[in-house]
Amino acid sequence: MSLSDLLYPLLAALCYSTNPIMVKMGLRISNEPLLGATIGMAASTVVYAAYFLLTSQMRDLLAVPPRIGWYFALAGVSSTLGMFTFFTALEHTSATIVAPLVSAAPLVTLLLSRLTLQETERITLFDVLGTVLIVAGVVLLVS
Amino acid sequence: MGCDPCPGTQRLGSLHRLGCCIVRAARQYPSPFLPCFSASATCDSTQVVAPQAALWFVGVGLLGPCLGRLFNYMSVARLGAARATPLVNASPLFTTLLALVFLGEHITLKILLGMLCVVAGIAVLTGQRRA
């Protein structure tokens, strides 16, 4: 892995990292988490739809083979289910227990990759060590 | 479905009005999963979410689900799921840095240790192929 390979994951991390700050800013003004999340998701959907419409790629989007489209759709559903179960967990359990458990998600991804993506992804000891270190650090940060 | 612009939102443009419409539609069709939508059916959405807060939430949507997800998918395409996921999940490192700068939160030994662990993990993942 080269330093340039870090660009996209760290950009993603940077984008995600601003979320709690901006959510907190918004909730300080109106303490309505669910409505806030709805507005945010609506804004995101509008931008994606506008991009595909303005660049005349809507036909390409609709031409994605169903077999591949289902994988992306399932990714979206599992992501939404993850959010829903996260909030449900917070209703029943302390955040100090929920947050570290959720942070351990990359370990599950590592295991699932090993089981299902053997042909395309080779996992090394360094991958395991790096993932464990990041998860441990994140657990310390969020707990 | 038609939706009257919410009062007091003329200056905020279509995104906030869209948010109002979604909230209003959700309240008209109560769902067991969204009890707070159906709990106050007569309440106007602009009385619930202030325009300034709505702008912050729009920003959240643009950076997280929109750009964040795009970069996440690009990372998985380039590095694979097993390597991209821990790197993307290192976002609390940046959140902590932003919270220290913008929210004035204080750094503790636990936070410092956590940040060091995350940076070390990134270094291990990044350094393996160059070694």
Residues with Cβ within 8 Å of B75's Cβ and at least 6 positions away in sequence, in order, are: A8, A9, A12, B84, B87, B88
Predicted local confidence at residue B67, as pLDDT: 93
Predicted local confidence at residue A19, as pLDDT: 81
Residue A25 has pLDDT above 70, yes or no: yes
> How many angstroms away from the CA of A105 is the closest CA of chain B?
8
Residue B11 is given by DSSP the state G
- When CB atoms are compared, the residue of A28, A112, A130 closest to B124 is A130
Q: Structure tokens of A76? A: 């979206």
Residue A119 has pLDDT above 90, yes or no: no
Burial class (CB in 10 A: 0-12, 13-18, 19+), B116: middle
φ, ψ for residue B75, nearest 5 deg: -65, -45
Predicted local confidence at residue B64, as pLDDT: 87
A3 touches chain B (CB under 8 A): yes
Predicted local confidence at residue B46, as pLDDT: 47
Question: What amino acid occupies position B42?
Answer: T
Report, as ranges of residue numbers, the positions in chain B whose pLDDT lies below 50: 1-12, 14-15, 29-43, 45-46, 131
Other C-beta atoms within 10 Å of A139: how many?
Answer: 18
Interface of B with A in 78-107 (CB under 8 A): 78-99, 102-103
Predicted local confidence at residue B129, as pLDDT: 58
Instruction: Tell me the CA distances in angstroms from A54 to A47, A57, A59, B64, one per residue in order.
Output: 10, 8, 12, 22
Q: Structure tokens of A32? A: 């309505």
Say if CB A140 and CB B121 are below 8 A apart: no
Q: Which of A2, A4, A6, A14 to mutate to test the interface with B (most CBs of B within 10 A)?
A: A14
Q: Is the ipTM of this complex over 0.85?
A: no
Residue-wise pLDDT for A104-118, tens only, equals: 889 999 999 988 888
% residues pLDDT > 70 (chain A):
98
Burial class (CB in 10 A: 0-12, 13-18, 19+), B4: exposed
Predicted local confidence at residue A142, as pLDDT: 85
Predicted local confidence at residue A9, as pLDDT: 92
Residue where the block lists tokens 């993307």: B88
Residue A36 has pLDDT above 80, yes or no: yes
C-alpha–C-alpha distance, residues A134 and A15, integer Å: 18
B6 touches chain A (CB under 8 A): no
**3-state class of B9 per DSSP?**
coil
Residue A133 has pLDDT above 90, yes or no: yes
Closest-CA residue of A relative to B46 is A30
Other C-beta atoms within 10 Å of B61: how many?
Answer: 27
Give pTM, 2 decimals: 0.72
A136 touches chain B (CB under 8 A): yes
C-alpha–C-alpha distance, residues A40 and B18, integer Å: 11
B16 touches chain A (CB under 8 A): yes
Say if CB B94 and CB B52 are below 8 A apart: no
Predicted local confidence at residue B24, as pLDDT: 58
Predicted local confidence at residue B73, as pLDDT: 92
Residue-wise pLDDT for A42-75, tens only, equals: 999 999 999 989 988 888 888 888 888 899 899 8
Q: What's CA A77's distance to the chain center, in Å?
A: 12
Q: What's CA A124's distance to the chain center, in Å?
A: 23
DSSP assignment of A81-93 equals HHHHHHHHHHHHS
